[in-house]
Chains A and B, each alone.
Chain A
Amino acid sequence: MRFSIAGVDSLIIYFGDKIDEEITRKVKKAYLSLKALNLEGLIEIIPSYTSIFIQFDIFKYDYKSLKNLLKNSVNLNIKDDSEEKIITIDVYYGLETGFDLQKISLEKSLTISEIIQIHTSKIYDVYAIGFLPAFAYLVSVDEKIATARLSTPRTLIPKGSVGIADNQTAVYPQNSPGGWNIIGKTALELFDKNIESLSIFEVGNKVKFNSISKEEFLFQGGIL
């Protein structure tokens, strides 16, 4: 664990310097252990690929005191039960919803059904959540369909769109500008104000995509 000052009221802990499964596992364990410690005066705890950002109450801690406390109390051997949880997302991979399916098909010399088969055959890990509420960065997309971001981002990507950027995939939880390659759409609400956890994802969850027909998508409330 390497500590660095982030601000007068915040610090960041690094667990490595590359996007890698082993490092993410450490981040997740440290995050779970931090939450379990339930320390007073921690305002935000934001896990990401290789780091955990912590904002703290300056009347309870300073950088040094919190660093010392955490160095000795973060347990990287904590038991992690969340690994079993797999969230399944139904996706309609159609030309009306997957604006870039044809482009990827040409670039990668794959048929559209091959792209769908490759995208749905993997189980992805939630490495980080950010950019938009409940926007989960899912790793890692099979190299055969990994596609660089659009050189000019779209001004509007519809809510529920499923995208690929390099070896990551994600679902847009709301309408947003964005530069990911869009391959399909889900009717699932990712950021739901009515559920207590707000977001269906947490860092460390596993996610699987399931291909559904246009009829099923529409039946689930999907909008073309």
Chain B
Amino acid sequence: MSLELINNPFFVTLQDRGRFSYAHLGVTNSGVMDEYAYFIANKLLENSLDTNVLEIGCSNVIFKVNKNTTFCLTGADCEFFINDKPKKLWQNYEVKKNDIIKIGKILSGNWLYLAVYGGFLIEKEFGSNSTTVKENLGGITGTRLKKGDFLPFNKSRKINKKFLKKEFIPKYEDELTLRVLLSYQYENFPKEEIKKFFSSSYMVTKDFNRMGCKLQRKAIKCDINGIISEGIAFGSIQIPPDGQPIVLLKERQTLGGYPKIGTVLNIDCFKLAQAKANTKVNFQEISYLEALAKNREFYSSLFFVNNLSKISLDS
């Protein structure tokens, strides 16, 4: 009972929400880049929300199904076929032994999530299946998946056909507003630099991976060059000496020594994760209480509400 990877894709890893409570030893949280697409994938299969999935960060991935199951694909828009028939993302499908699932070209966004009923039966490492290649942790062998890898799963029970309503399917546009909480060393930035940061548009560069996203445009100056290394929050915005912001994402280092001007709201980081190079990014200041309310709303709609129509990316 498994999925078999039958080509050698550029970047596919096993992920879940991440590996927590080891950061004091230098172990990064890792985990899915886009929690929205990940949670919806698990919702569509009636899985518990922390079930592992495959995170696909490249075009052209082919799987063979070795046992009947129910699965779905969410996230980046792409060409998607079951036995050469085009299919839609954001809904579940029953597949049978010897069916071929093919992901063609990615059309918009960066990350896709392939989930199966019940998740893949792979032993966790330190509480998580999340793969961190640089730490050689998680996944099957701590690395990206390769041709011939088998991903075992349990027998699927019958689940109803489910799909996400169209209005909740995110569009990965070429302009993005990220809400930012002033945090850490923001007081070390002159007022006019903070103003510049919030009134300028930035561009997503190609320097973008699971660790973080480098932006480019107007350089931001800080009164201090470096700081004593300290723990780094998901979404924090580092300003290195060249003044170009870096938003730190799931595989960030646990400690960092660059000053930070603010922190992108968690749920907005999931949108950033799907942004292509050259996407225009604007930053908008948000108060702590507003940020907290938005975050609580997002997670409670997913964790505590079963009706998919209640889920909204704009929450």
Contacts and interface: CB of A to CB of B under 8 A. Distances in A.
Given A43-B20, A128-B255, A129-B26, A8 B231 contact: no
B183 A7 contact: yes
B234 A7 contact: yes
Nearest to A49: B228
A6 B231 contact: yes
A6 B20 contact: no
Nearest to B135: A133
Contact of B263 (A7, A18, A133): A7
Interface stretch (B94-102, B147-155, B191-199, B292-300): B292-300
Contacts of B29: 44
A193 B126 CA distance: 9
Most chain-A Cβ atoms within 10 A of its Cβ — which of B24, B135, B236, B289? B24
Given A132-B26, A133-B26, A8 B295 contact: yes
Given A9-B266, A130-B255, A133-B26, A174 B136 contact: yes
Contacts of B23: 44, 46, 55
B24 A45 contact: yes
B142 to A, nearest CB: 10
B254 interface: yes
A121 interface: no
B22 interface: yes
A147 interface: no
Contacts of B232: 53
Interface string B12-40: 00000000111111110100000000000
Interface string B274-315: 000000000000001101100110011000000000000000
Given A5-B182, A198-B22, A17 B27 contact: no
A8 B25 contact: no
Given A53-B232, A53-B233, A198-B22, A7 B181 contact: yes
Contacts, number: 132
B207 interface: no
Interface stretch (A57-65, A77-85, A95-103, A104-112): A57-65
Q: In terms of DSSP, what is the predominant structure of the interface of chain B?
A: mixed
A89 interface: no
Given A5-B182, A5-B183, A6-B183, A129 B292 contact: no
B258 to A, nearest CB: 14
A44 B181 contact: no
Interface in A17-36: 17-19
Nearest to B232: A53
A58 B295 contact: yes
A48 interface: yes
Contact of A8 (B134, B254, B266): B266
A63 B233 CA distance: 14
A18 B135 contact: no
Nearest to B266: A8
B173 interface: no
A6 B296 contact: no
A131 B26 contact: yes
B235 interface: yes
A176 B263 CA distance: 28
A6 B233 contact: yes
B175 to A, nearest CB: 23
A203 to B, nearest CB: 7
A50 B266 contact: no
Given A62-B292, A132-B26, A48 B126 contact: no
B298 to A, nearest CB: 10
Contact of A55 (B126, B230, B233): B233
B25 A199 contact: yes
Nearest to A53: B231
A51 B229 CA distance: 9
Contacts of B137: 133
B265 interface: yes
Contacts of A130: 26, 229, 253-255
A209 interface: no
Contacts of B266: 7-9
Most A CB within 10 A of own CB, among B21, B126, B232, B265: B232
Nearest to B23: A44
B222 to A, nearest CB: 15
Nearest to B265: A8
20 contacts: A5-B181, A7-B235, A7-B236, A8-B291, A9-B233, A10-B231, A44-B21, A44-B24, A45-B24, A46-B254, A46-B255, A49-B230, A50-B230, A55-B233, A129-B254, A130-B255, A131-B253, A132-B134, A198-B22, A202-B24
Given A8-B292, A43-B20, 12 more contacts: A5-B263, A8-B265, A8-B266, A46-B255, A52-B231, A53-B233, A59-B296, A129-B24, A130-B255, A133-B25, A133-B137, A198-B22
9 A-B pairs with the lowest CB-CB distances in the bound complex, closest first = A53-B231, A130-B255, A7-B233, A46-B231, A6-B233, A7-B263, A44-B23, A199-B25, A10-B233
